[in-house]
Amino acid sequence: MAHIGAVSLARRLKSAPLFAALPAASAQLTTPTAHLRPTRLYSTRAPKPKLAFALDIDGVLKQGPNVLPAALRAFDIINGDNPVSTRIPYLLLTNGGGWSESERALRLSKDFGFDIPETQIIQAHTVMRSLTRLYAGRPILCLGGPETPPGRARSVMNGYGFRDVYTAHDLIASAPAAWPFSTISDAHRAEARKADFSKVNFAAVMVFHDSRDFGRDIQFIVDILRSRDGVFGTIDDERRAGQSKAQIPLYFSHGDL
């Protein structure tokens, strides 16, 4: 896929050759005659690659809250207003997050003036969907992402199919001394999921999006990675003694630590 800016895209799409038909090479069978042996003739020309676009949202289609005029023209063209009246597939990308793809699609549909399916939206944490096959019903610690409204990150992860999600607010509400340098609001305390963490075996830690409190979240990452069988508040004596042991998986949605 090409990944280019909206202005560049609009300029390129004005060129008719870009819209040349792109059929795959097809086989043709000749009709045998009395004096020729039956022969199959195949095109030896390689099929032209299909055209699609991956468009960055932030700074390309929009600057802050404002939609760029060239982006609207580019959308007109790839939605069919071109010399061959052909719609061109595209995806919209952002390293932002904190919303479900359906919520993001509704917002962008309003911004651009036409319906955008959620299946065409890829956010920073969309990739986390692929981990449900491993952790759908297992306890995971989800860190990072917007903290207002309370519970948003958990809600998005639940929407992906993770059914047993805990957050930093759950841990700090249960054990304030684990990170005494941050306070928890009444709203977050009310939303916090209550549990006996001595009986919760975290199967993985997932950094959902940029942390709003990296000191706290890094401490909790270290606590879980050093724990015994993923139990918060414990220390694995074998690991402390230097014995080799499989580590609890740690996943980042992107590398913006």
Tell me the per-residue pLDDT of 40-69, one tens digit each, with 9 for 90 and over.
556 667 676 688 999 999 999 999 999 999
Q: Which of 122, 157, 177 is the last residue of a domain?
A: 122
90 assigned to some structural domain:
yes
Work out whether the CA dihedral 165, 256, 152, 91 comes out positive or negative.
negative
CATH number of the domain within which 74 lies: 3.40.50.1000
Same domain, 236 and 150: yes
Same domain, 64 and 147: no
What is the band of 22 on the pLDDT scale with cuts at 50, 70, 90? very low
Q: Which of 122, 154, 170 is the last residue of a domain?
A: 122
Same domain, 99 and 204: no
The number of distinct structural domains making up the chain is 2
Coil, helix or strand at residue 122: strand
89 assigned to some structural domain:
yes
Q: Count other C-beta atoms under 10 Å from residue 195's C-beta.
A: 15
Same domain, 98 and 161: no
**At residue 239, does pLDDT exceed 90?**
no
**Cα(217)–Cα(171) distance, rounded to whole angstroms?**
10
Report pLDDT for 255: 74
Same domain, 118 and 176: no
| Higher per-residue confidence, 159 vs 20 | 159
Question: Is this prediction's pTM over 0.85?
Answer: no
**Cα(212)–Cα(189) distance, rounded to whole angstroms?**
17
Residue ranges making up the domain that contains 100:
53-122
Give the whole-number percent of the chain exceeding pLDDT 70. Answer: 79
Q: Which of 122, 145, 176 is the last residue of a domain?
A: 122
Same domain, 182 and 160: yes
**Cα(130)–Cα(118) distance, rounded to whole angstroms?**
16
